[in-house]
Chains A and B, each alone.
Chain A
Amino acid sequence: MNRRTGIGRLAIRHALLAAVLGVTIGLGFSVLQVGDDDRASVAAERREILQMLAVMREPAAQACNNLNTQAAQVVVQGALSYVPVQSARLVSDFGETLAQGRHDAAAATGADAWWTRFIAPTQSYSLPLSFGAAHKRMWAN
């Protein structure tokens, strides 16, 4: 009776140990995997944003050079049509905002919800602009 109990206790301990080890190792690898996925996701998003900015560089520079608010608005709307972009602003070298906009959806999706603290914060990108053959004038957006 006692032996059975002892065997039983040992088996339970082993089972518990195995379970705890399994869960711990599983959690550890999951955390590593999630972290890796997160880094890859952030890197991929960064690449895509930089590509989008590269495409928009020339029209944005032209809008800034001409101080053309209509053209600037088109550029900003173009940036906002890419879903991950929450807000965009085009600033002239005089420090004046030519156009700006943000997704109304960004505010409506509960950006302040508790779970957002576990997600990487919104990244900010700034693109210096130049225009003309001499590239002598610079702007930032």
Chain B
Amino acid sequence: MRSRLLQSGVLLTTLAVMAGLLPAPAAAQCSRVVFSANPDYPPYHWAEGERIVGASVALTGRILDQLGVAWEARHIGPWPRVLKSAEHAQIDLVVSLKPTPEREAYLVFTRAPAFPNPMAVFNARARPLKFEQPQDLVGKTGRRTAGDRFGDAFDKLAAQSLTLEDADRLSVNFQKLAAGRIDYVVTGLYTGRARLLQMGLAERITPLPRLVNEGFIHHGFSRRSPCAALLEAMNAGLEAARRDGLAQRLLEEALLQWQNRQPAARRP
């Protein structure tokens, strides 16, 4: 088993090296932007069939339409797969995510944020948690959606001192919290509220008043995509959308869209 697997590894490495020798993709033209996002992050974005929909898609689509660039909001799969696809330039753009040093290695982020996205700790109302500072979570069992990051300081603490497990879906985390199997869930404030409303758990699970941070989420172009050339234009579009309140309006519309979804379309 080992020898063939090693051969496969050598072959894959060879292919990767060959890919690196090919002409730089930045030399190519960006005629169409394929973008994606976390498929489980309402009201910013969520998966519906093969598409991603939500406020991020509406905002990005408008900006790209104004630029006269064709686009597609594609459902790639789970969140870690979306990030990995951008790293390998299988998609051009990841919308509305938090910039982190780890992600900046393969994504170039817009300076202007797309939306505000405060991060919160959710706990069960029946088992209240004290949270004045992140260190209060040491010794408790928490969960997050795989691939989620909350800011450098919190992420470092999580890696070093917190018991913060990954799950593939936010709904699974909230179910476990409601069942008393974990102590808290960390996620975006609006995303958590939207998901709890949909699950009918908004009365049992609540965000703590102290936020993890007052974060913003930005767009990140794959560094290996020719469409990274659109960074400045996207930046200007996001800045204008924030200035005239378009981003906030789209977020509110998306929240309504999320709440009014048909039950059959609820699970991506």
Contact = CB atoms under 8 A, between A and B. Distances in A.
A38 B146 CA distance: 47
Contacts of A70: 165-166
Given A66-B80, A67-B84, A122 B2 contact: yes
A68 B3 contact: no
Contacts of B13: 95
A67 B8 contact: no
Interface of B (DSSP majority class): helix
A126 interface: yes
B78 A124 contact: no
A66 B78 contact: yes
Interface string B62-95: 0000000000000001101100100010000000
A121 to B, nearest CB: 8
Interface in A63-93: 65-68, 70, 85-89, 91-92
B14 to A, nearest CB: 10
A140 interface: yes
B4 interface: yes
Contacts of B8: 91, 126, 140
B3 A122 contact: yes
Interface residues of A, number: 22
A118 interface: no
B80 A68 contact: yes
Interface residues of B, number: 21
Contact of B1 (A65, A68, A88): A88
Contacts, number: 55
A116 interface: no
Nearest to A84: B1
Interface in A100-141: 102, 122-126, 140
Interface of B: 1-5, 8-9, 12-13, 15-16, 77-78, 80-81, 84, 88, 146, 165-166, 168
13 contacts: A65-B81, A66-B81, A66-B168, A68-B146, A68-B168, A70-B166, A91-B8, A91-B9, A95-B15, A122-B2, A122-B3, A124-B2, A126-B4
Given A66-B80, A67-B78, A87-B5, 7 more contacts: A67-B81, A67-B84, A67-B146, A68-B146, A94-B84, A124-B2, A124-B3
